[in-house]
Amino acid sequence: MNFKKDLLALFTALGIFILSFLGYWALSDGLLSIKPLVPADEDREKAIPELKQTAAGVEYPATPKLALNPEIKDWFTPEENDDGWDYDLFTTIDIAWDPSQAEYVPANKKAIPLPPFGVSLVSVGHPTYPYVLRSTVAGKSGKEEDREFSIENTLTKEWFEKCRLKRPLNDKTPVYPLEYKVVKQADGFQQKILVLEDRLLGRKVTINDEKALEFEDTIDVVITATDDPAKSWTFHKKGDDFKYEKAHYIIKDIDLVNKTVTVEKKYILDPKKGQRSDQQVLSLPAPVDPKSATPTSKEKDKTKLTK
């Protein structure tokens, strides 16, 4: 280590620091006719003429403040059964089971009554062809085309007399007898069979003299509105649907053995809860016993006494 060289370097650095300090002080105070690096506040506009110029650009219009409705004086206090109401964690409320909504609700909440299902079943089964052969008589000529038939419409109770082959039943009924034959059954009895061409149905139908024909390839489900029996619908298979009184009804199942039809009803009871679905098995109304409907002599006497 050279002590003289180290001492010389120390004095050199110290001299450079002193000269730098004196130079910065002279520039800051404007000595030696040199402008200071940072002008004072009152001298900045003179030293920097750009500060006098207006700012460039476009001024944005002032945004109007939101005006409150003067009619609304205050917010309403939420009720206990309003949605979104946060209950006090330390004060429990009384709840009760509401069968109409199938959930627990506050006890003081008004329950929404369930509406009636709205529809009922009138009939279910295979549709029946109304025309039945009642009798037949061979013509005087002995020819088959002169044979005469008596045919009944079991629905309208209308009879068609002296019908012949390849002729309509009448001018208003485009049903044509085509072929007549007698078939011997296994029990030895003979069955009279008549083939008809029903131009309303667009098909050939074979009837007999025993009972009305059932179309086993077709199912008829007749449903009516409970509050308006004149309004009815006819369906033929599962999945058929219809809309009535803001509700959507769907045929879910058809039981021909038990004569019942399962119907699903979709509706909105409470808009806050969304769509609701109910399912009900509709059955045929029980037949009214005419004996029970007619009052007996004893019942008549009782009614006279009460009067």
pLDDT at 296 over 90: no
- Which strand (E) or helix (H) includes residue 19? helix 3-28
| Domains contained in the chain, number | 4
**Same-domain status, 222 and 203:** no
Instruction: Say how far apart CA 121 and CA 226 lie, in whole Å.
Output: 9
Quote the mean pLDDT of the chain.
80
Residue 136 has what pLDDT? 92
Q: What is the DSSP letter of 153?
A: E
For residue range 255-281, what is the model confidence (pLDDT) as tens digits?
Answer: 999 999 999 999 988 787 788 899 999
**258: in domain:** yes
Residue 66 has what pLDDT? 67
Cβ atoms 30, 38 nearer than 8 A: no
| Cα–Cα distances in angstroms (integers) from residue 285 to residues 126, 128, 260, in the given order | 18, 20, 10
Residues contacting 31, CB < 8 A, separation 6+: 25
- The b/e string for 177-204 (b: 16+ C-beta within 10 A; e otherwise) is beeeeeeeeeeeeeebbbebbeeeeeee
**Same-domain status, 179 and 134:** yes
- Domain's final residue, options 208, 241, 267: 208
125-143 mean pLDDT: 89
**Same-domain status, 198 and 237:** no
Residue 70 has what pLDDT? 64
**86: in domain:** yes
- Place 148 in a pLDDT band, splitting at 50, 70 and 90: very high
Gyration radius from the chain CA atoms: 51
For residue range 27-56, what is the model confidence (pLDDT) as tens digits?
Answer: 666 555 555 556 666 666 666 777 677 766
- Place 204 in a pLDDT band, splitting at 50, 70 and 90: very high
**56: in domain:** no
Query: Token digits for 50?
Result: 């750009």
75-85 mean pLDDT: 55
**225: in domain:** yes
**Same-domain status, 238 and 269:** yes
Cβ atoms 166, 145 nearer than 8 A: yes
Residue 91 has what pLDDT? 65
**70: in domain:** no
- Domain's final residue, options 157, 188, 208: 208
Q: What is the DSSP letter of 110?
A: P
pLDDT at 81 over 70: no
**Same-domain status, 89 and 147:** no
Query: Token digits for 181?
Result: 């034959």
**Same-domain status, 27 and 91:** no
**180: in domain:** yes
Residue 268 belongs to domain spanning: 119-124+218-283
What is the pTM for the complete model shown? 0.52
**Same-domain status, 223 and 168:** no
Residue 302 has what pLDDT? 52
- Place 242 in a pLDDT band, splitting at 50, 70 and 90: very high
